[in-house]
Amino acid sequence: MNNTTYSPKKAEIESKWYIIDAANKPIGRVATEAAKLLRGKHKPTFTPNIDTGDHVIILNVKDVILTGNKLDQKMYRHHSGYIGGMKETPARVMLEKNPEKAMTLAVKGMLPHNSLGRSQLKKLRVYSGNEHENQAQKPEVWEVK
């Protein structure tokens, strides 16, 4: 009996393309599904230290919803690095002006905070409308519960 743990090689990893429709769904539910697909946790060959994930396209991000009072209370913050350089953007403004960034930040927070997570985030494509330019990859539809 072989007692070694299987670890997939780079050449053995097959990457699929999935589409998630975010219209009228909570931003967190969509982001968790996208992060799961990007990491490859839905595959039996999942390995935490290897990028075994798939490519994800998220459509209709402009129609995503926030539950509770998050639309008024949630703040997106970033810092320029200078004294007094803290910038705050309310969720309502972020979803009106740049909904793609809001979704990307939600998914980014659910990925590992290292070089592996950065490489997995590059496989994410977010569009505010229903159109995308990845028809050639023949993406499959992934349903969010």
| 63 backbone dihedrals φ, ψ, rounded to 5° | -100, 10
Rounded to the nearest integer, the mean pLDDT of the chain is 95
* pLDDT at 96 exceeding the cut of 90: yes
* pLDDT at 66 exceeding the cut of 70: yes
Q: Give the C-alpha separation, 16 to 124, whole Å.
A: 12
* pLDDT at 58 exceeding the cut of 70: yes
Specify whether the CB–CB gap between 103 and 28 falls below 8 A.
no
One-letter amino acid at 132 equals: H
CATH number at 15-141: 3.90.1180.10
One-letter amino acid at 107 equals: V
- Per-residue pLDDT tens over the stretch 110-119: 999 999 999 9
The mean pLDDT value for 43-67 works out to: 95
Dihedral class, residue 28 (left if φ above 0, else alpha if ψ from -120 to 50, else beta)? alpha
User: Which pLDDT value is given to residue 4?
Assistant: 87
- Per-residue pLDDT tens over the stretch 128-138: 999 999 999 99
* pLDDT at 103 exceeding the cut of 80: yes
Query: Which residue has better confidence, 103 or 10?
Result: 103
User: Which pLDDT value is given to residue 24?
Assistant: 95
User: Which pLDDT value is given to residue 2?
Assistant: 74
pTM score, two decimals? 0.92
* pLDDT at 1 exceeding the cut of 70: no
Cβ atoms within 10 Å of 130's Cβ, excluding its own: 11
The angle, 0 to 180 degrees and rounded to 10, between the axes of the packed helices 99-108 and 27-39 is 50
